Chain A
Amino acid sequence: MKFSLRSLFTQGLTGHHGWGPQWRSPEPKPAYDAIIVGAGGHGLATAYYLAAEHGVRNVAVLEKGWLGGGNTGRNTTIIRSNYLWDESAAIYEHALKLWEGLSQELNYNVMYSPRGVMMLAHGVHDEQVFKRHVHANRLNGIDNEWLMPEEAKAFCPPLNISRNVRYPITGAALQRRGGTARHEAVAWGYARGASPRGVDIIENCEVTAITRDAGGAVTGVETTRGRIGAKRVGVVAAGHTSVLMGMAGVRMPLESYPLQALVSEPVKPVFPCVVMSNTIHAYISQSDKGELVIGAGTDAYTSYSQAGGLHIASHTLDAICEMFPMFRRMRMLRNWGGIVDVTPDRSPIIGKTPVPGLFVNCGWGTGGFKATPGSGHVFAATIASGEPHPIAAPFTLERFTTGRLIDEAAAAAVAH
């Protein structure tokens, strides 16, 4: 049933008995044209676009747990596209444009909220870096503007622009189209869009092996629910990519780190946008429910534990309280961790692998949520055609051999 005010009203009058499952829960078939490993936002988006735009409908998305239960459901939902390098700007802007129409495309309110993402500069070096971004973005057609402290305060009244603090705010870069979205709705919306187009979403189905023929090409996967054949397998399993690719004998330039986030108890609207500070090292926004959503960098060591140390949360909150001392009496409601896979240049890997038929989409580090629609879109095209989508083309595995890195970390060192 189409979601709309009318259907909600009609169902309200008749007891809501008409709503069916938002996606099917089928048994796996023996074989598919393509298998996507990982039912997070990126994997589900890939399956959706394979079916919706490339006519590849005989697709399975395999998920070891519940769909959207990885980083999709664990991130702080920041969306922006003001990256420095042309390659990065292109893919994140591709994603941002898709975000702008995603609720309508999926008939699912993903609550994309372009409330503005502001990065605070605290000194000359920050200003040089952020202005470099602003100018590059402007000439790439991506909105990003430089604000003086007073202008930043006007946009975000809780900011303290006093000079008499440890790290005074000396300016800010603002992307007005940046913002947030409702993370789970993205996974659910893509699942609901993909399922009726033929995509089988199979939860509680862990891939235990990737099978290959004598020539080395992929023939399918072994799972906890049996063998499933496919000549094309796309691994989209943030955090666990190394483990899965290892099943096909492919070593990856990845390390998996815990990334913590936390929310406060909900309060009435108090914080209008997203604010990030790289120098003070934290970021904050307020969800539609009213929770302050707060994060920072990863924990120090690799881990798959989906938990982190209290001292990390402590550093995050001392930064938030330093910037916004009025929030010191707010209370932390939940604190959790995800597992992010991080590449040496902090840019993703999207495309083919040395194994014929095996594709990978990984390495989004701490900032993959914002790319979800764009990532799925270009990865679907890559899997469908067997050749990289032009926007995905620079994000190869080979770049680590040639040295053609896309080093956003070096350029900005901004966590998100």
Chain B
Amino acid sequence: MLIIPCPHCGPRPENEFRYSGEAHIARPADPEATSDAEWADFLYMRSNPKGRHAERWRHIHGCGRFFNCIRDTVSDRIERSYPAGTRP
């Protein structure tokens, strides 16, 4: 069980959170203008790196807020977290 640093509440155990996938995948501003391939890229393609991963978590049993983390997917160590809508 990881210790996850919520940027709003501080470090809390993993079971207060819900993992929400890769971060910084912005929904296209005008989906209708995207090609099928571009839309599929948004929907399904993921970087899935072995190493530093920017990812979203929600402090669902805490403040309820979505935020971002940088986690090393090999060691599972979290480097830092930062609020949704910001960049690391």
Contact = CB atoms under 8 A, between A and B. Distances in A.
Interface in B21-53: 21-22, 36-37, 39-41, 43-50, 53
Contacts of A243: 48-50
Interface string B60-78: 0000000000010111100
Contacts, number: 72
Contact of A303 (B21, B47, B73): B73
Contact of B48 (A242, A307, A310, A400): A242
Nearest to B18: A300
Interface string B1-24: 110000000000011001101100
A9 interface: no
A401 B36 CA distance: 6
Contacts of A310: 1
B74 A305 contact: yes
B36 A402 contact: yes
A327 B73 CA distance: 34
B73 A304 contact: yes
Interface string A295-306: 000001111110
Interface stretch (A133-141, A144-152, A249-257): A249-257
A251 B45 CA distance: 6
B1 A253 contact: no
Interface string A51-94: 00000000000000000000000000000000000000000000
Contacts of B21: 255
A269 to B, nearest CB: 35
Interface size class on chain A is 20 to 34
B41 to A, nearest CB: 7
A242 B50 CA distance: 9
A163 interface: no
Given A301-B19, A310-B1, A256 B44 contact: no
Nearest to A401: B40
A302 B48 contact: yes
Given A301-B19, A311-B15, A251 B74 contact: no
B75 A400 contact: no
Nearest to A310: B1
B11 to A, nearest CB: 16
B2 A304 contact: no
B86 to A, nearest CB: 21
B76 A252 contact: no
A64 to B, nearest CB: 12
Given A255-B21, A311-B1, A401 B73 contact: no
Contacts of B48: 242-243, 252, 254-256, 302, 341
Given A242-B48, A254-B48, A255-B21, A301 B55 contact: yes
Given A252-B45, A254-B48, A303-B74, 11 more contacts: A240-B50, A242-B50, A255-B21, A256-B50, A301-B71, A302-B19, A302-B53, A309-B2, A311-B14, A400-B45, A401-B37
26 contacts: A242-B46, A243-B49, A251-B41, A251-B46, A252-B45, A253-B45, A254-B46, A256-B73, A301-B19, A301-B55, A302-B19, A302-B48, A302-B53, A302-B55, A303-B76, A304-B50, A304-B73, A305-B74, A305-B76, A307-B76, A311-B1, A311-B14, A344-B44, A400-B45, A401-B37, A401-B39
Interface of B: 1-2, 14-15, 18-19, 21-22, 36-37, 39-41, 43-50, 53, 55, 71, 73-76
